[in-house]
Amino acid sequence: MIRKLQVNDREKLVSIIESTNNFSDEEKKIAMELIDDALGNPNHEYYNVFVYEENSTIAGYHCTGKRALTDGVYDLYWIVVDQNIQNKGIGKQLLDHAENFVKENRGRWILAETSSKDSYDATRNFYMRNNYSIVSQIKDFYKVNDNLIVFGKYIRT
């Protein structure tokens, strides 16, 4: 079941984020900031968090929100699945949910920023397998030799 974030989910999300090897300390901090922002303001225009719940536990979440100044562009800020239960299709279900959220809000674009690092190979393949295309690349972005790659899908309504 994918449902809106609740206050009680916070602790489990902290542990999922903390145990994600791919995330730097700054990434972990910002991921939690967006969750706290969404909890503090459930009708937040910019950050919307939805969790995947199964057998009374949280297996992952996505955080999606509208880009300011646009009338239909949504950023998929985070899509995270518990490292211990990867490859069960939960990421795909969260992605479908995020796309449907965009559709329901009459959005056109869903965009996801990723890194060119080897450790993000699986992430990039995930977006390509799900019919995203590369809409932007900027070299030396996160760090020297760590480029920005923005994946996007144009949502047909």
Binding site for a second copy (CB under 8 A): 24, 26-27, 30, 68-73, 108-109, 111, 135-138, 140-144, 150, 152, 154
Q: How many CB atoms lie within 10 A of CB 22?
A: 13
Contact 18, 82 (CB under 8 A): no
| Shortest distance in whole angstroms from residue 143 CB to a second copy | 5
| Shortest distance in whole angstroms from residue 27 CB to a second copy | 6
| Shortest distance in whole angstroms from residue 49 CB to a second copy | 18
Q: Which is nearer to a second copy, 11 or 71 (CB)?
A: 71
Q: How many CB atoms lie within 10 A of CB 67?
A: 14
Q: Which is nearer to a second copy, 19 or 136 (CB)?
A: 136
Q: How many residues in total does the chain contain? A: 157
| Shortest distance in whole angstroms from residue 123 CB to a second copy | 15
Contact 91, 81 (CB under 8 A): yes
| Shortest distance in whole angstroms from residue 51 CB to a second copy | 23
Q: Which is nearer to a second copy, 62 or 66 (CB)?
A: 66
Burial category of 143 from C-beta neighbours within 10 Å (exposed 0-12, middle 13-18, buried 19 and up): exposed
Q: Which is nearer to a second copy, 54 or 154 (CB)?
A: 154
Q: Which is nearer to a second copy, 37 or 109 (CB)?
A: 109
Distances (CA, A) of 27 to 15, 70, 80, 107, 154: 14, 25, 12, 26, 27
